[in-house]
Amino acid sequence: MPTILDTLKARGLYEAQTSPELDTLVQQPTTIYAGFDPSSSSLQAGNFVAIMALAHCQRAGHRVIALAGGATGLIGDPSGKSAERQLLSEAEVQQNLAGIQENLTRFLDFNHATAPAKLVNNYDWHKNFTFITFLRDVGKHFRMTQMLGKESVKKRMLSDDGMSFTEFCYQLLQAYDFLWLHEHEGCRVQLGGSDQWGNITAGTELIRRVRGAEAYGLTLPLVCDSQGRKFGKSEGNAVYLDHRKTSYYDFYQFFLRTADADAARYLRIFTFLPLEQIAQLEEQMNGAPEKREAQRVLAEEVTRCVHGAHGLAVAQRASEVLFGGSLDGLPLADLLGIFANVPSAELPRAAVVGKPVLDVVAAAGLVASKGEARRLAQQGGLYLNNRRVTDIAQLFVADDLIEGRVAVLRAGKKSFQLVKISD
C-alpha cells in the first residue's frame, strides 16, 4: 500500500530523508511537524510547499503540527542566506505570528475527528530558559566540529560577512524544538526545505543523545521555475498568501502566467488534483499549448485553495475587467483591489462632474494634453469605465463615478488610470 513518502515523491514534494527506517515508520500513523519563520506577516508561495506536504500527511492519516517560530524568529535562520537578517522586534514577531496562524488555518484541519492538526509557538518553551541553563541543558550535547560542519554554516563562514554567534546558535534552538515536540507531543518526524537539512539533523542527533531514541527528517525541494528562479521573499518576486500583500488578481495571474515547462509540475505540487487528471492536462497542453488549459486549471485550483471561492471569483472578475469587461455592479472595494497597482489621480468633484470627458482625461494625466485626448477618442482608443468614448463632446456625469468616488480611464488595451474624487 502506498505511503505518504510515495505520495510526496509522486507529487514532486520529496528531496531526501535522514534514514531508510522512515519508510517503515510512516506505514503507521505518526506525528510530523514543520516550522514556519515569522519574518513576514504572511506566508508566501515558498512556504506553500511545506503546507501542502503537511496537508498530504494529514490526509494520509498522520498527525501534523505546525510550529510558528515566535522564539527562533527573534534570531533569524541563516540557512540559505548569504548575509545576516535584520533582527525583528518582539512586537514585529508577534504581529507576524498572528498573520501566519491565520494563513495556516486555511489549509490544515484543526478540527479533524481523529487526527486534528495542532499549532504551537516555540516561544512558549524557549522563554523559560536563561542563557546559562540553555548552555548546560542543551549546549553540552553539541560538538563544535559537527556544528561547524553544517553546510549552512560553512557557506557563511566563507562569505565576506561571516556569521554572528547569534546565527551560529540557531541550529541549537531548532534542534531543541524537535526534542521538545518529541518529548511532549510524541513527534518522530520533522519536514522542511532542503536548506533545512543541517537544522533537522541537529534535532535528530539531539534526540538520540538525550533520549536514546530515533527521530527522522524529511526534506522538500526548494521549488524553482524552469529558469531557476525560486519563490522567496529575498528573490524580489514573493507571492504572498495574504490578499492584502498580493491581491487576488495578482495571485491568480502569477499562476496563470506559468510557463508550459512548469505547469504540470506546479499542478502536482500546489494542487490536490488526481495525478491522472494532471497527466491528461499535460497531454492536452502538449497538443494545444496555445489554449493554456493547464495554466487555467492551475490558477483556479490554487487560488480557490488559498483564497476560497470568493477570492477566485474576484480574481476572475478582475481578469475580465482588465481585458475590457464590464464594470457594472462591481463594488468599489473590489474595484480598488483590482486596480491597486494602477496609477491614480485625485481631482475635486467640481473638476470632474459636468466637465468634458476629454478635459478630465487630460487633468488626470492619462494623456499629456486635451489634444492628445481628442486624437485618442477619434481613433477609438479612449474608454471611460471600459466603455468606448465615441463623442468627443461627451460630458462626465455623476453616474460615471462608481459609488460616487472613482472612475476608470483607459487608453488602448492596457493603459489604465483611476480618477478619485478628493472631496
Tell me, rounded to whole angstroms, the distance of Cα 282 from its chain centroid.
Answer: 24
- Identify the pLDDT of residue 352: 95
Mark out the alpha helices in 225-292 (DSSP H runs). Answer: 248-256, 260-270, 275-287
Signed CA dihedral, 401, 403, 406, 408: sign only: negative
Distance between CA 364 and CA 387 in Å, rounded?
18
List Cα–Cα distances, 211 to 17, 150, 174, 331, in angstroms. 21, 22, 17, 59
Distance between CA 256 and CA 267 in Å, rounded?
12
Global pTM value:
0.81
Question: Coil, strand or helix: which one is 17?
Answer: strand
Distance between CA 2 and CA 133 in Å, rounded?
44
- Identify the pLDDT of residue 58: 96
CATH topology of domain 341-421: 3.10.290
- Identify the pLDDT of residue 7: 97
- Identify the pLDDT of residue 88: 66
- Exposed / middle / buried, residue 198 (Cβ in 10 Å: 0-12, 13-18, 19+): buried
Residues in the chain predicted with pLDDT less than 70, given as ranges, are 75-88, 149-150, 152, 156, 160, 231-237
What are the φ/ψ torsions at residue 192 (nearest 5 degrees)? Answer: -170, 175
The class (CATH top level) of 248-323 is: mainly alpha
- Identify the pLDDT of residue 82: 43
pLDDT in tens, 149-189: 667 677 767 776 777 777 777 888 899 999 999 999 999 99
- Identify the pLDDT of residue 81: 46
CATH of 4-226, one of 3.30.470.20, 3.60.150.10, 3.30.390.30, 3.40.50.620: 3.40.50.620
Asked if residue 25 lies in contact with residue 189, where contact means CB atoms within 8 angstroms, the answer is yes
Please report where in the chains the cell 540557512 appears, as a residue.
79
Domain ranges of the chain: 4-226, 248-323, 341-421
